[in-house]
Amino acid sequence: MHYWHVARLGTTMSQAVSPLQNLHPFYPTALDNCLTVTRRTLASTDHQLPPQHGEDLDSHLQELGTRLTRRLLSNTLSTLQPHHAPLVGVFGALALLQLAGQASGLERLALCPGLAASPVVDKNVLSSKVTCPSWLRPKAWQECGLLELLPPFVGLRASLAAHSGAWQEYLRLPSTVVGRTPSIGTMPLTLLQKLVLWRVLQPERAAAAFTDFTTCLLGRPLTEDNDPAVNPYRLSRPTRPLIVLLPPPGHLTATSYPLPYIWKLASQQEQQVSLGI
């Protein structure tokens, strides 16, 4: 009974990737494929508890869930054409959020996007006395009105108009869904809600946003699973941490991280508050 939620994860993943069948007539049936991989993964597991010396049950189940997730998605990835491959990670990441109760149906609909086509949307609600900022496209402004039908986005248009500088600075961040957005309501936006916001405000960077979203929830790219020789993450365990050495700043292979940009933005906002701006 300790493994029931792992089996549930396999079922959720199968449902999440099933829309891929509609993209091409020769794509295999996702449900049967996912259930087969789930059974094989559970059958190959040592059910003795604890499974490893010094490793607790929760860590073992978490590792098993991660292994199953990546096997399911990597197996699906191998059957698709390259231009459809990015959708696999997005569907998988959404499935994890949905399983954790952190992705409502309306938020997933807003990501599609599909709110505008919903018959329950009252078009009169979309009107606003707030003027659209000059840097924002009218189409994006209209869709922001749709997002305001969802509680986390109430006051979005007013915030975009009142804090244009902060929003433009935030949207210049190199890593899309990382970092806290300028104030909208009382609660910070979740990862999925920020992804929806980036799709609306920066549609030309949607691919980068999806990549960051997938990486935040699934870790390394799925393609790395196909080459064990360059995949050191397979050596990592909950009781055996993996140390990653990064190149020093200024090195040719160094990566630019968004933390300095977030600090700069926070410092500017703090100064504006202190000056009463």
More confident of the two residues 194 and 81: 194
State the average pLDDT over residues 31-47.
Answer: 71
Q: For residue 48, what pLDDT band results from cuts at 50, 70 and 90? A: very low
Q: Does pTM top 0.85 for this prediction?
A: no
User: pLDDT: is 49 or 203 the higher one?
Assistant: 203
14, 64, 224, 233, 242 from 230: Cα distances, Å: 28, 21, 7, 9, 14
Distance, in Å, from the CA atom of 182 to the CA atom of 106, rounded to the nearest integer, reads 22
pLDDT at 197: 93
Integer Cα distance of 234 and 250 in angstroms: 29
Decide which of 63 and 247 is more confident. Answer: 63
188: pLDDT strictly greater than 70: yes
Look at residue 207 and tell me whether its pLDDT is greater than 70.
yes
How much is the pLDDT for 253? 58
Distances (CA, A) of 265 to 181, 251, 271: 10, 25, 10
What does the buried/exposed string (b/e) look like for 158-188 if buried means 16 or more CB atoms within 10 Å of the residue's CB?
Answer: ebbbebeebbebbbeeebbbbbebbebeeee
pLDDT score at 49: 47
Q: What is the mean pLDDT of residues 35-46?
A: 74
Mean pLDDT of the region 164-169: 93
Over residues 243-250, the mean pLDDT reads: 66
pLDDT at res. 271: 76
Confidence bin at 231 (pLDDT 50/70/90): low
CA distance 275 to 273: 5
Quote the mean pLDDT of the chain: 78
Task: Say what the pLDDT of residue 120 is.
Answer: 61
pLDDT score for 185: 79
Mean pLDDT score, 7-33:
77
Task: Work out the average pLDDT over 26-37.
Answer: 72
Q: Which of 23-37, 38-52, 86-100 has the highest mean pLDDT?
A: 86-100
Listed range (69-78, 116-125, 266-275) with the worst mean pLDDT = 116-125
